[in-house]
Chain A
Amino acid sequence: MTESLAISKFSDLANPTRFLALAARILPWMAAATVMLFAIGLYLSFTTEGDYQQGATVRIMYVHVPAAWLSMMCYTVMAVSAIGTLVWRHTLADVSHKAAAPLGAAFTLIALATGSLWGKPMWGTWWVWDARLTSVFVLFLMYLGLIALNRAMDDPSRAARVSAVLILVGFVNIPIIKFSVDWWNTLHQPASVIRMGGPTIDQEFLWPLLIMAIAFTMLFFTLHTMAMRNEIWRRRVAAQRRMAARMAGHVTGSEA
């Protein structure tokens, strides 16, 4: 009984109009929370003392690590939406993974760029073909491929279903990225925050990092909701344009 109620609540939310109403209500709050978290996170990142070895460059971590987490979380969100597309055939799920792809690409690019900037002073090179770096680069290419695929098709619902299949197949890369540092013992350091036996990172770095991670996550969800809203609007505009064109054709046809 309660379960069916929960499902009906959930499907209520899945109605695009209700989603738009909800988005309009919570977006200001989400945006405000994002700004506040970023303010606290950035303040903490800049006031903590630098590492005794790395100096100020350690602050790159506060952007690099959350962006890298987000690049993987975004793909996971897309995979969940892809299941929604294929199983329930829901428009909102289509919109969700279409809107998430450019965001994921952006976060991956940020992770790669900041990692590269961090690598130059620390490892002495901009880029190495290390397992983690390579697999994240592959993730970036996959995001771009998905965007290209979505753009190549006119029919949005077919594009969504087809790219959902590809998203699910590409999901095999996510565990590879996560565990690449454990499987291949290469230059990139293994996980130091989310690991068995608690984080090995010092408290001083842990707090700003966690707040920045939450801020990035909020940023992602805010942008994602906004992108979904825009996509729904775009589709409605396209549908209305089609209808207007049909009406116009009808009128001229009757005159002739």
Chain B
Amino acid sequence: MTALLLRDLKLSVRAGGGALIGVLFFMTVVAVIPFGVGPDLNLLSRIGPAIVWIGALLSALLGLDRLFQTEREDGSLDLLLMQEHPLVLTVLVKCLAHWLGNGLPLVIASPLLGLFMNMDEVAIGATMLTLLVGTPALTFIGAVGAAVAVALPRGGLLVSILVLPLAIPVLIFGVSASYAAVEDPAPFMPPFLILVAITMFFAVLGPLGAALALRNAGD
């Protein structure tokens, strides 16, 4: 399992792995927003957390189709299916590796984008924290979509369409927790704890569903 984790991590960081592309896409999405809504710093600081979250959501979707696709292409997916470890665990480890390679860089890049958006320190900290807690849920949900679409020739777009509706609760609670940290009357903890709960829930459901789909997608 550790070997699988390290292997996936190496693959995602090295050239062609797509980890850096995700961060670049994240930055590009966020950078495009001021062009769309105008360079009004007050407005940007107000919508900042939402923009950063949406950017992170989109770029988390971007790399998802690679989660099982490359394994299927070179045949190692069959090896993973055949080994003695429960497939659920294998999928969980692959999700973790994918998150470390694609999700964590987004979290690390988010404070910089927060500065671009003229957010204050508390808001940046809260957004970063919610992203840290929320992005694993995106990966787990995405794993189901990636497993479902693994056999399709051009599954990338379909994965996004299938996964986005399920990812909406994550977005809702992530953004509302970020806002709650900035605006006084709303408490920070309830939405944040719900976000944690969603992540835990999908940490169970995601690998289970993905393993089931992978077993069934085989020919």
A145 to B205, CA, bound (A): 19
Q: Which of B55-63, B64-72, B85-93, B147-155 contacts A (4 or more CB under 8 A)?
A: B147-155
Contact with A along B101-130 (1 / 0, CB 8 A): 000000000000000000000000000000
Within 8 A of A (CB), among B145-168: 145, 147-149, 151-152, 155, 158, 161-162, 164-166, 168
Q: Does A162 lie at the interface of the complex (its beta carbon under 8 Å from any beta carbon of B)?
A: yes
Q: Does B22 lie at the interface of the complex (its beta carbon under 8 Å from any beta carbon of A)?
A: no
User: Judging by beta carbons under 8 Å apart, are A148 and B212 in contact?
Assistant: no
Q: Does A142 lie at the interface of the complex (its beta carbon under 8 Å from any beta carbon of B)?
A: yes
A19 to B129, CA, bound (A): 55
CB-CB under 8 A from B213, the residues of chain A are 161-162, 165-166
Q: Does A158 lie at the interface of the complex (its beta carbon under 8 Å from any beta carbon of B)?
A: yes
User: Judging by beta carbons under 8 Å apart, are A162 and B148 in contact?
Assistant: yes
Contact of A169 among B149, B155, B169, B209 (CB under 8 A): B209
Q: Identify the closest chain B residue to A131 (Cβ).
A: B172
Interface class of chain B by DSSP: helix
User: Judging by beta carbons under 8 Å apart, are A165 and B165 in contact?
Assistant: no
Contact of B165 among A152, A162, A170 (CB under 8 A): A170
A212 to B89, CA, bound (A): 49
> How close is B36's CB to chain A, nearest CB, in angstroms?
19
CB-CB under 8 A from B168, the residues of chain A are 134, 138
CB-CB under 8 A from A145, the residues of chain B are 158, 161-162, 165
Q: Identify the closest chain A residue to B155 (Cβ).
A: A152
Q: Does B180 lie at the interface of the complex (its beta carbon under 8 Å from any beta carbon of A)?
A: no
CB-CB under 8 A from A168, the residues of chain B are 209
User: Judging by beta carbons under 8 Å apart, are B216 and A161 in contact?
Assistant: yes
Interface residues on B, range: 20 to 34
Q: Does A141 lie at the interface of the complex (its beta carbon under 8 Å from any beta carbon of B)?
A: yes
User: Judging by beta carbons under 8 Å apart, are B158 and A152 in contact?
Assistant: yes
> How close is A216's CB to chain B, nearest CB, in angstroms?
24
Q: Identify the closest chain A residue to B215 (Cβ).
A: A161
User: Judging by beta carbons under 8 Å apart, are B169 and A176 in contact?
Assistant: yes
The A-B contact count (CB < 8 A) is 67
Interface residues on A, range: 20 to 34
Interface class of chain A by DSSP: helix
User: Judging by beta carbons under 8 Å apart, are A149 and B162 in contact?
Assistant: yes
User: Judging by beta carbons under 8 Å apart, are A141 and B158 in contact?
Assistant: no
Within 8 A of B (CB), among A153-171: 153, 158, 161-166, 168-170
User: Judging by beta carbons under 8 Å apart, are A148 and B158 in contact?
Assistant: yes
CB-CB under 8 A from B209, the residues of chain A are 165-166, 168-169
CB-CB under 8 A from A172, the residues of chain B are 166, 205
Within 8 A of A (CB), among B201-219: 205, 209, 212-213, 216-217, 219
A142 to B161, CA, bound (A): 8
User: Judging by beta carbons under 8 Å apart, are A166 and B169 in contact?
Assistant: no
Q: Does A91 lie at the interface of the complex (its beta carbon under 8 Å from any beta carbon of B)?
A: no
Contact with A along B163-190 (1 / 0, CB 8 A): 0111011000000000000000000000
6 contacts between A and B (CB under 8 A): A134-B168, A139-B165, A153-B152, A162-B151, A166-B145, A166-B148
The interface of chain A, by Cβ under 8 A from chain B, is 86, 134, 138-139, 141-142, 144-145, 148-149, 152-153, 158, 161-166, 168-170, 172-173, 176
4 closest Cβ pairs, A-B complex: A161-B216, A165-B213, A138-B165, A169-B209
